[in-house]
Amino acid sequence: MTQAISRRSVLTGAGALIVAFRLSGAQAQTETGTGGAPSKHGLPGSLDDTPRIDAWIRIDASGAASILTGKAELGQGLKTALLQVAAEELKLPLGRLSLVTADTARTPNEGYTAASHSMQDSGTAIRHAAAQARELLKDEAARRFGVPANALQVRDGQVFGANGKRLSYGELVRDQLLSVDATPTSRLTSPADFTVMSQPVPRVDIPAKVTGGAAYVQDMRPDGMLHGRVVRPPSYGATLRDCDTSPVEKIRGVVKVIRDGNFLGVIAEREWTAVQAMRTLAATTTWIERQELPDEADLPAALMSLPSRDSTIRDTGSPGNPGILVEGTFSRPYLTHGSIGPACALAQFADQKLTVWTHTQGVFFLRDAIAGMLRMPTENVRCVHAEGAGCYGHNGADDAAADAAMLALAVPGRPVRVQLMREQEHAWDPFGPGMVVKLRATVGTDGAIADWHHEVWSQSHMMRPGPPGTLIAARLKSDASPPAPPVALAQPEGGGDRNAIPLYAIANCKVISHFLPDMPLRGSSMRSLGGYLNVLSIESVIDELAVRSGQDPVAFRLRHIEDPRARDVIEAAASRFGWTARVKSSESTGFGFGFARYKNLEAWCAVAVEIEVPRLSGVVRIRRVVAAVDTGQIVNPDGVRNQIEGGILQAASWTLFERVTFDRTRVTSVDWSAYPIMRFDSVPESVDVHLVDRPGDAFYGVAEAAQGPTGAALANAIRDATGTRLHELPLTPARIRKAISR
Amino acid sequence: MTTLIINGESRSVAASPDTPLLYVLRDELGLNAAKYGCGLGQCGACTVIVDGKAVFSCVTAVTVLEGRAVTTLEGLGSHDAPGPMQLAFIAEQAAQCGYCIPGMMMRAQALLNRDPHATDEAIRAELQPHLCRCGTHMRILRAIRRAAEETRPKAAESRTGR
């Protein structure tokens, strides 16, 4: 299960023909839903799927440019970064650019905005399309001036010739000028000449977000809009026993009550009326429930006992080499995405056409799923991306879109806005799956790793639309769609087995992936997928091997690292942290280190932490975090920092606090008190992110790079402070106290 | 009808008296900043200032607000003329998705209004009711410190001069 990933990065100075992109030849279903086939046109990024330049770049008669992307702003700063790339290559001031994001009627289909692929897919496509558009405009100017193109200069949206002659883009652009296919090579701007790329350009979306502008799908209020709410069953397999809609229908302002199989919804003139109607309807409905959830008290055993499809994804050398043995069974519970804003969507059904405004990660796949759910022709459904609250993977966005579509069909012509309630978002989220890793390793008398055996158990991390059965509404309505078949994302990116193959040089190494086709709890993609637990487990065992063999954990890592870029981030994080000179300020001080290259293919990230964990309380206080990251060519350094800082804090929250709880029937962690996440009293005293700049290199996905290393660094710091290794997440005060007292 | 003073302006609202302020602000008055997050006062996304104090608008019925002064984020400035708190959040790029940010800004504003010299510790303690899922906390703290520094009465200097 291997593939060749080739990366060409040839920089020969300003004005030269430059190729700096990666060609991927994966042959399996990918997390973005695209790029799984061999290259069609040999073109960089998403240009390979959509080669026409004017599918990405349009210039109007005023010389302003519209940039089109099939990716979506999820709060990660994508809009700003894509505009920077386009402005740099078009040689246009940022203010003359506008951006259209994912819309099935307008933009290229770039699959899901997922897997930290947006800069390498869309950023690469837009960069090359913009560079080629600029050259086409320059060629047009050369033709009009009657001089060779290389005699001309381009800046500020104008092409300059000799003797003060110049033509603006607006004057040069004519029908069809950009209606051509891209070619494999582009005249890219040299990093030495960057004025917009690699600069900390302020995010274009932040001013509206901090002044009450209409920034989110939640803020849309088209004329005639109605408010919808759904009533979800109390548990996954529940079926409707009895439902009395008459008390709800009597509420003033209720427009309609919808019942279709097990799908229940209300539509009202006002939002608060809709909420009250939803509550009334829930109270007058009874359900038949089944006990079908696993035993949460021993989730790891429950997962490991499920039927599995096993594959050996790494098998080198011979096993069973003696040495100091370290072993452990690591586990994580189900985790919820937990956007602060519950999912929301608007839908309008008019003239047999359905339009859905949604914060989905994949407008095209969602369109197909909704069309399938409603038995409508695909061409009659349009999905338009509008920002929602933070997206850390497949959350309730698609489900809310399906709910809005169901309700909109009942009131043709009127737009219907649906927002999930907090308890619905928490109970029905497609959780980040619970997982188990069993790891056994030895370090030999020479101090090198002698043996390594890693097994990972996980259900699918990919239950995204496409198939209608991925949508809650499609499963509930009377003509229900069948459940979607489980998807095992393949190596090298992997799903549950993402990052399961250690990057360290280990001669005798076996890694087995146990894919669980069953889905005990509804689960799908959550930031870094299996990478978080696999990295946490690997880095915990590496740390333990070092400690048990009397070696420094960072030196031990470096000893087993061959990749120079991995070495660079490990050394950078260690030196900026002051690792070798570290001194414990008290007996509750702990230091920890973690490293990974995300997916073994994307950004490199190392994290060092200092914590205090008093033995009496077991409460972890994070003093400082230092991270180093290499994401290749940086487009927006502050954007990268923001993503890594956020990844560190979010992963710290997962590691210390988070766990979906359930009984044998229902998910019980349905609010923020039952599912605590990090609050300000647990925020680190300082977080310092160091960027390793690689001018001229390709883009490497960065937004998920900190998850595994942060969890690992915290687990190792707790080990350092307490002398005890914990294996079961989250690493709560109660568990820490219990481990210490053993 | 309930009469509220919203950002200094008297507004009569038709919503039933039990309606939480959040829905009145968003749906009746068209103000976007206060957000629905949990409806339970657990996340802070809906926070506004009422008579100087930060309150959760999702659990505050309009009926108890008759004649009282409500300030929302829109009252701190606008897109074209941002106020000091808003400028500080822009300067620190203190947002990822930004959904939780308006609530954070309102509680921070209420704190700085009563204590312009609030320490970092006090700011952290004050923000305890607020959740951010993107992990933007470090920037939020920096932005609030910046807002404090830029709006602090110049008394600080005169004191040192005494």
- Mean pLDDT confidence for A192-211: 97
Size of interface A-B (CB pairs under 8 A): 182
Q: B64: which residues sit within 8 A by CB, 6+ positions away?
A: none
Is the pLDDT at A25 greater than 80? The verdict is no
Q: What is the pLDDT of residue A378?
A: 98
**Residue A560 DSSP class:** T
Interface predicted TM-score (ipTM) of this complex, two decimals: 0.95
* Cα gap A266→A407, rounded to integer Å: 8
The closest CB to that of A215, out of B82, B98, B128, belongs to B98
Q: What is the pLDDT of residue A321?
A: 86
* Cα gap B39→B62, rounded to integer Å: 15
Shortest distance between the Cα of B6 and any Cα of chain A, in A, equals 14
Portion of chain A with pLDDT greater than 90, in percent: 93
Going by C-alpha positions, the residue among B98, B100, B133, B94 that lies closest to residue A641 is B94
* Alpha helical stretches, state H, A412-482: 422-428, 472-476
Is the pLDDT at A338 greater than 90? The verdict is yes
Residue corresponding to tokens 């899901």: A112
Going by C-alpha positions, the residue among A145, A137, A46 that lies closest to residue A92 is A137
* Cα gap A588→A721, rounded to integer Å: 5
Burial class (CB in 10 A: 0-12, 13-18, 19+), A60: exposed
Is the pLDDT at A7 greater than 80? The verdict is no
Portion of chain A with pLDDT greater than 70, in percent: 96
Q: By mean pLDDT, which of A28-32, A94-98, A635-639 is the weakest?
A: A28-32
Give the pairing type, strands A324-332 and A158-160. unpaired
Is A75 in Cβ contact with B134 (below 8 Å)? yes
Minimal Cα distance from A675: which residue of B?
Answer: B42
The closest CB to that of A210, out of B36, B86, B125, belongs to B86
Shortest distance between the Cα of B70 and any Cα of chain A, in A, equals 15
Q: What is the pLDDT of residue A30?
A: 79
Tokens of B129: 């009711």
b/e map of A660-672 (b: 16 or more CB within 10 Å)?
bebeebbbebbbb
Shortest distance between the Cα of A185 and any Cα of chain B, in A, equals 34
* Cα gap B152→B150, rounded to integer Å: 6
* Cα gap A478→A472, rounded to integer Å: 12
Give the pairing type, strands A226-231 and A416-419. parallel
CATH 3.30.365.10 residue window(s) in chain A:
5-208, 217-290+337-428, 435-461+496-741
Is B99 in Cβ contact with A390 (below 8 Å)? yes
For residue B11, being part of any structural domain is answered with: yes
Band of the pLDDT at A39, cuts 50, 70, 90?
confident
The closest CB to that of A211, out of B43, B78, B138, belongs to B78
Q: By the 8 A CB rule, do B128 and B103 touch?
A: no
* Cα gap B22→A218, rounded to integer Å: 13
Number of domains chain B is built from? 1
Which residues on B lie below 8 Å from A391 (Cβ)?
97
Is A212 in Cβ contact with B102 (below 8 Å)? yes
Q: What is the pLDDT of residue A21?
A: 52
Q: What is the pLDDT of residue B158?
A: 46
Q: By the 8 A CB rule, do A627 and B138 touch?
A: no
Tokens of A226: 């109605």
Is the pLDDT at A83 greater than 60? The verdict is yes
Minimal Cα distance from A651: which residue of B?
Answer: B135
Is the pLDDT at A34 greater than 90? The verdict is no
Q: What is the pLDDT of residue A10?
A: 33
Residue range A372-421, pLDDT digits in tens: 999 999 999 999 999 999 999 999 999 999 999 999 999 999 999 999 99
Band of the pLDDT at A11, cuts 50, 70, 90?
very low
Is the pLDDT at B153 greater than 80? The verdict is no
Is B90 in Cβ contact with A202 (below 8 Å)? yes
- Mean pLDDT confidence for A192-207: 97
b/e map of A443-454 (b: 16 or more CB within 10 Å)?
beeebbbbbbbb
Q: Region of A224 please: left (phi>0), alpha (psi -120 to 50) or beta.
A: left
Q: Which of B49, B86, B96 to mutate to test the interface with A (most CBs of A within 10 A)?
A: B96
Q: By the 8 A CB rule, do B32 and B19 touch?
A: no
Residue range A251-293, pLDDT digits in tens: 999 999 999 999 999 999 999 999 999 999 999 999 999 999 9
SS3 track for chain B: CEEEEECCEEEEECCCCCCEHHHHHHHHCCCCCCCCCCCCCCCCCCEEEECCEEEEHHHCEHHHHCCCEEECHHHHCCCCCCCHHHHHHHHCCCCCCCCCHHHHHHHHHHHHHHCCCCCHHHHHHHCCCCCCCCCCHHHHHHHHHHHHHHHCCCHHHHHHHC
Minimal Cα distance from B78: which residue of A?
Answer: A211
DSSP H/E element including A273: helix A271-283
Minimal Cα distance from B134: which residue of A?
Answer: A646
* Cα gap A69→A557, rounded to integer Å: 40
For residue B160, being part of any structural domain is answered with: no
Residue range B120-136, pLDDT digits in tens: 999 999 999 999 999 99
Angle at A115 between CA A188 and CA A37, to 5 degrees: 75
Q: What is the pLDDT of residue A37?
A: 77
Q: What is the pLDDT of residue A42?
A: 92
Q: What is the pLDDT of residue A22?
A: 53
Question: Domain A435-461+496-741 class?
Answer: alpha beta
For the domain bounded by A5-208, which CATH number is listed?
3.30.365.10
Q: What is the pLDDT of residue A320?
A: 83
Q: A167: which residues sit within 8 A by CB, 6+ positions away?
A: A141, A144, A145, A158, A159
Band of the pLDDT at A8, cuts 50, 70, 90?
very low
Which residues on B lie below 8 Å from A527 (Cβ)?
none
Is the pLDDT at A122 greater than 50? The verdict is yes
Shortest distance between the Cα of B1 and any Cα of chain A, in A, equals 16
Q: What is the pLDDT of residue A153?
A: 96
* Cα gap A398→A33, rounded to integer Å: 15
Is B128 in Cβ contact with A679 (below 8 Å)? yes
Q: What is the pLDDT of residue A163?
A: 87
Residue corresponding to tokens 């920002």: A387
Residue range B20-77, pLDDT digits in tens: 999 999 999 999 999 999 999 999 999 999 999 999 999 999 999 999 999 999 999 9
Which residues on B lie below 8 Å from A337 (Cβ)?
133
Burial class (CB in 10 A: 0-12, 13-18, 19+), A210: buried
Shortest distance between the Cα of B158 and any Cα of chain A, in A, equals 31
Give the distance from CA B72 to its chain's centroid.
6
Q: How many helices (H) and strands (E) does chain A have?
A: 18, 26
Band of the pLDDT at A38, cuts 50, 70, 90?
confident
Q: How far is CA A333 from CA A31, A303, A555, in A?
A: 22, 11, 32
Find the domain containing B126 and state its range.
Answer: 2-154
CATH number where B97 lies: 3.10.20.30
**Residue A271 DSSP class:** H
The closest CB to that of B32, out of A213, A419, A686, belongs to A213
Q: Which of B56, B73, B86, B97 to mutate to test the interface with A (most CBs of A within 10 A)?
A: B97
Burial class (CB in 10 A: 0-12, 13-18, 19+), A250: exposed
b/e map of A343-355 (b: 16 or more CB within 10 Å)?
bbbbbbbeeeebb
Tokens of B139: 């920037």
Shortest distance between the Cα of A234 and any Cα of chain B, in A, equals 18
Tokens of A719: 């080990």
Which residues on B lie below 8 Å from A205 (Cβ)?
98
Overall fold of domain A217-290+337-428 = Aldehyde Oxidoreductase; domain 4 (3.30.365)
Q: What is the pLDDT of residue A27?
A: 41
Band of the pLDDT at A28, cuts 50, 70, 90?
low
Q: By the 8 A CB rule, do A600 and A664 touch?
A: no
For residue B159, being part of any structural domain is answered with: no
Q: How far is CA A139 from CA A157, A170, A500, in A?
A: 14, 14, 50
Which residues on B lie below 8 Å from A113 (Cβ)?
none
Q: Name A350's bridge partners.
A: A353
Minimal Cα distance from B92: which residue of A?
Answer: A202
* Cα gap A489→A493, rounded to integer Å: 7
Residue range A646-666, pLDDT digits in tens: 999 999 999 999 999 999 999
Q: Name A265's bridge partners.
A: A230, A258
For residue B161, being part of any structural domain is answered with: no
